[in-house]
Amino acid sequence: MSVRKARWISRVARRAAYLLLAALVGCSSDRALSPEQRAEAEVLFESCLICHSTQEMQRGPIIDGLPVWYTRLQLQKFRSGVRGQNALNKSEQLMGAARDKFETDAEIELLARYIAERPVQPYDPVVRGDAVRGEILYTSCIPCHGARGEGNETLKSPPLNLQEDWYLLDQLRKFASGKRGYHSDDFEGIQMAYALAHIDAEGLKDLVAYMQGFQDKREQDADR
């Protein structure tokens, strides 16, 4: 047997063992919200819709369908100021100003679970770049974000298959320029910023042009 094949088999076996373990342990945060919890979450989320819906021109990203663990982590960062307090990052500061809506862990949990239950919204691409070059550049992202942008909870790397393309580009630019992932306690953000060290401004657009295809791949995977 070739080394590559052996490695592949061990990877698949590890993944199967992990899934089995996750199914046996059962993650409480993955249970569906009860009608009472959903009603409570809707009230909390009302205040988020001012920025996280398509109604306003000056708006934040659409976050519907982000996984529970990622939203939880980001809201914790916004709450503690590890994200959202950088004076150079105006849009993050906007989000930082919403902190009083999720002061308790219970509120964060409820919001994260509610956001994960909201259906992902398809978007029309607006970013232009060279997707062929982007695919080559994306090879370096696969270990953390997955070949189809599906994300990796263990590595705290979010999926990249549901955010709008302009937001992906915006965040890449922020990581690359030290506006996100700069705080000494932002372990994940620092790792991410480091991953862009070898990529220039055109490369960021090319990456996003390639990542636009992830939303179709996500739909195909969901249909299987």
Interface residue list for ligand HEC (CB under 6 A): 47-48, 50-52, 60-61, 63, 66, 71, 73-75, 91-92, 94-95, 97-98, 101-102, 111, 140-141, 143-145, 155-158, 160, 163, 168, 170-172, 180, 188-189, 191-192, 195-196, 199, 207
The conformation of residue 152, written as its DSSP 8-state character, comes to: B
**DSSP for 102-118?**
--SHHHHHHHHHHHHHS
Shortest CB 97 distance to ligand HEC, Å:
6
User: Which positions ≥6 away from 167 have C-beta within 8 Å?
Assistant: 61, 62
Nearest CB to ligand HEC, comparing residues 6 and 206: 206
Nearest CB to ligand HEC, comparing residues 24 and 128: 128
Find the Cα–Cα–Cα–Cα dihedral 111, 150, 123, 42, rounded to 10°.
-10
Spatial contact of 144 and 206, defined as CB atoms under 8 Å apart: no
The conformation of residue 10, written as its DSSP 8-state character, comes to: H
Nearest CB to ligand HEC, comparing residues 170 and 219: 170
Nearest CB to ligand HEC, comparing residues 6 and 144: 144
Spatial contact of 86 and 93, defined as CB atoms under 8 Å apart: yes
